[in-house]
Amino acid sequence: MRTALAILALASLAACQSQPDDPGNGAQAGRNIAVPANDSADAANAAEEPAEAETLDQVGPIRIGATLAELAAEGLAVAGRDDPMPGSTCTYAHFKGWPDAAVMLDGDHVVRVDVSDAQQEGPFGLRVGQSEAEAIKRLGSAEVQPHPYTGPTGHYLVFHRANAPTGLIAETDGKTVQSWRIGQWEQVQWVEGCS
């Protein structure tokens, strides 16, 4: 009887560990990406830290999901804001002190941040101007896709964890990172921004 229970327990454990990935998740951006590990010490630390150790929901003080009123209460003043297109609630804003961070809003909520300047460091140490090879190394096994406009030479480096609400796309010219964006996964995938 003990042998039968032991075999049943092992079979149950094996079934739990071999669940397939959700094939519909991230269909536009390809497969999901694992968190990079630089060495065994980092891998050990990553096991102790929460899965979202590198956040994809904040650039400096600008938080995905925050409202303009919340950010204003924290001292972030809007320097300029676009008018939405007819029938849309999507706009872009810029904040004082953050001229190279274009903030996509859905109504008054931040949903995405686009960065086009080397001064701002992104998750995993990603930066504009960094070599594509270095960016891929920092992002782990990032999904490399042809850029919609400059491919096949230019690329998208796509980072999205399974079932995560946020993600990252870095754009390259095939040699260096030209820009990157993070935010809610749906909006991060929009090629034309609010258009």
- 96-117 average pLDDT score: 93
Residue 118 pLDDT greater than 80, yes or no: yes
More confident residue, 53 or 116: 116
CA distance 83 to 86: 9
| Per-residue pLDDT at 189 exceeds 60 | yes
pLDDT number for residue 33: 31
Is pTM, for the whole model, over 0.75? no
Region 19-41: mean pLDDT is 35
Q: What is the CA radius of gyration of the chain?
A: 20
42-59 as b/e: b if 16+ CB within 10 A: eeeebeeeeeeebebbbb
d(CA 119, CA 27): 32
57-103, pLDDT tens digit by residue?
A: 999 899 999 999 999 999 999 999 998 888 899 999 999 988 889 99
Residue 158: its pLDDT value, please? 96
Greater confidence (124 vs 10) lies with 124
Q: Return the pLDDT at 99.
A: 82
Position 162 scores a pLDDT of 86
Q: How far apart are CA 63 and CA 194, in angstroms?
A: 19
Q: Which of helix, strand or coil describes residue 106?
A: strand
The stretch 20-43 carries a mean pLDDT of 35
What span, in angstroms and rounded, lies between the C-alpha atoms of 193 and 195?
A: 6
Q: At residue 27, does pLDDT exceed 50?
A: no
Which residues have C-beta within 8 Å of that of residue 84, sequence separation ≥ 6? 90, 91, 194
Percentage with pLDDT > 70 across the chain: 72
In this prediction, residue 53 has a pLDDT band, given cuts at 50, 70 and 90, of low
CA atoms lying within 13 Å on the CB side of residue 154: 13
